[in-house]
Amino acid sequence: MRNSVRNTNLIRQKALDLGFNYSRFAIAEQLDDDARRLEAWLKQGFHGNMQYMENHFDLRVDPRKLVPGARSVITLLLNYFPSEKQKENSPGISKYAWGRDYHLVIREKLQALLEYIRVEIGDITGRGFVDSAPVLERSWARRSGLGWIGKNGNLITKQAGSFFFIATLITDLELEPDPPFPTDFCGSCNRCVEACPTSAILPGKVVDGSKCISYFTIELRDALLPDRMRGNFENWMFGCDTCQDVCPWNRFARPHNEPAFRALPEILNLTTREWQEMTEEQFRKVFRESPLKRTKWSGIQRNLKFLYTGSEPPAKP
């Protein structure tokens, strides 16, 4: 057995042992087609005020510039689909944010995987990334055969839908590449396009990030949200899952097995009024390791005011 085959099998098994649901491999090379799409997307201004997406363009499209000497890109998926449900009529929070911050959880797993590789295989160079570096993780997921990129911009797996975090490990280790995903199974389905509350999903598999509810409720730092969007957010206070909730492929989604992603009771049970009455000190204590800390207490209060101005929040049960 070639070393590359043995090493690939070792890594795949260890990834499963660490809790990752899928792991696939690709050759580290420049993503020419993705570079052209990203450049066009940025020129259209679809990133809004997310100026960081313009930075390090060359690193985003070529992993060998991000990790010198890189030969392989490992893509790992971690399921976050919950078994719990939020209380009806409570402010909507995207499912990815119900438990512990996924950055913390996945970084620990990636570090453990890197340590294992160095013990079992040798002194390799490698860097792990999760949604916080110039890496086109969905493109690498598709290139390594994990699924296709849907009309809503999410990676969709044929086996289990799209409620997955994507992690990337770039290394100078030679590994056996998996074949790219062969086709697109969205077909003529337009459920995500039709259901998007702000019409952010455009023809041609293009998402205008500057119209997305997640952009407004999480990324935008303005003190006030634009009045033109009032009434379009449905009940979403932090993020939005509408395009995933309506996707037919997510009928195959199964609840995760990751203890760290177990939903905080406050996420599931707080009423609108209780969110509005929460102090900054309480917020920091409860959500100190939650994705909600990204928008801060002030951002949550801004979003609540935007959602409920002119209407009385429901009374406490």
**pLDDT tens across 250-277, in order?**
999 999 999 999 999 999 999 999 999 9
In this prediction the pTM is: 0.93
Q: Same domain for 132 and 209? A: no
User: Is 244 within the bounds of a domain?
Assistant: no
Q: Residue 80 falls within a domain, yes or no? A: yes
Read off the pLDDT of residues 27-36 as tens digits, 9 standing for 90 and up. Answer: 999 998 888 8
Q: Does residue 131 carry a catalytic annotation? A: yes
Could you tell me which residues come within 8 angstroms of residue 310 by beta carbon, excluding any fewer than 6 positions away? none
Of 113, 141, 171, which marks where a domain is finished?
171
122 in any annotated domain: yes
Neighbouring C-alpha atoms within 13 Å toward the C-beta of 44: 14
Specify the higher pLDDT residue, 1 or 149: 149
Judgement on whether residues 35 and 76 belong to the same structural domain of the protein: yes
Please indicate, yes or no, whether residues 211 and 268 belong to a single structural domain of this protein: yes
Residue 48 has pLDDT above 90, yes or no: no
Cβ pair 76, 22 in contact under 8 A: yes
Angstrom distance (rounded) from CA 13 to CA 129: 20
Q: What is the pLDDT at residue 312?
A: 41
Domain presence at residue 68? yes
Looking at the structure, do residues 204 and 159 belong to the same domain, yes or no? no
Q: Is residue 177 part of a domain?
A: no
- Is-contact 229 240, C-beta < 8 A? no
Residue 12, beta-bridge partner list: none
Does 282 lie in the same domain as 150? no
Q: Are 299 and 225 within one domain?
A: yes
In whole angstroms, what is the distance from residue 67 CA to residue 264 CA? 36
Mean pLDDT within 65-86:
97
Is residue 135 domain-resident? Answer: yes
In the chain, the DSSP E strands lie at 22-27, 72-79, 92-93, 126-129, 148-149, 155-156, 164-171, 201-202, 206-207, 236-238
Residue 306 tokens, joined: 């935007």
The structure tokens listed for 175 are: 């590994």
DSSP per position, 28-76: ----HHHHHHHHHHHHTTTTTT-GGGGTTHHHHH-HHHHSTT--EEEEE
Phi-psi region of 310 (alpha: psi -120 to 50; beta: other; left: phi over 0): left
Looking at 114, 143, 171, the residue that finishes a domain is 171
Residues 131 and 233 in one domain: no
Residues 200 and 300 in one domain: yes
Q: What distance in Å separates the CA atoms of residue 118 and residue 127, rounded to the nearest whole number?
A: 12
Are 14 and 102 contained in the same domain? yes
Write down the pLDDT at residue 89. 86
Per the residue annotation, which of 32, 58, 101, 131 is the catalytic one?
131
Separation CA 221–CA 198 (nearest Å) = 19
pLDDT bracket for residue 1 (50, 70, 90): low
Q: What percent of the chain has pLDDT over 90?
A: 84
* Span of 36-50, 102-116, 191-205 with lowest mean pLDDT: 36-50
- The mean per-residue pLDDT over the stretch 62-91 comes to 96
Between the alpha carbon of residue 180 and those of residues 10, 125, 142, 145, 244, the distances in Å are 21, 25, 6, 4, 23
Mean per-residue pLDDT, 112-117: 97
Number of domains in the chain: 2
Helix 3-17 and helix 102-120: axis angle, to 10°? Answer: 140
Whether residue 176 lies inside any domain: the answer is no
Q: What angle do CA 244, 185, 132 make, to 5 degrees?
A: 50
Helix H or strand E segment including 4: helix 3-17
Do 73 and 134 have their domain in common? yes
Whether the per-residue pLDDT at 315 is higher than 70: the answer is no
Task: For 145-203, write each residue's pLDDT tens digit.
Answer: 999 999 999 999 999 999 999 999 999 999 999 999 999 999 999 999 999 999 999 99
| DSSP code for 170 | E
Determine the pLDDT at residue 41.
Answer: 86
Residue span of the structural domain in which 212 resides: 191-239+263-308
Mean pLDDT of 49-76: 89
- List pLDDT tens digits, range 124-161: 999 999 987 789 999 999 999 999 999 999 999 999 99
pLDDT mean across residues, the chain? 93
pLDDT for 10: 97
Looking at the structure, tell me whether residues 138 and 30 fall in a common domain.
Answer: yes
> Is residue 283 domain-resident?
yes
Q: How confident is the model at residue 313 (pLDDT cuts 50, 70, 90)?
A: very low
Say whether both 201 and 293 belong to one domain.
yes
Does the pLDDT at position 314 exceed 50? no
* Nearest C-alpha neighbor of 102 from the set 248, 233, 262: 262
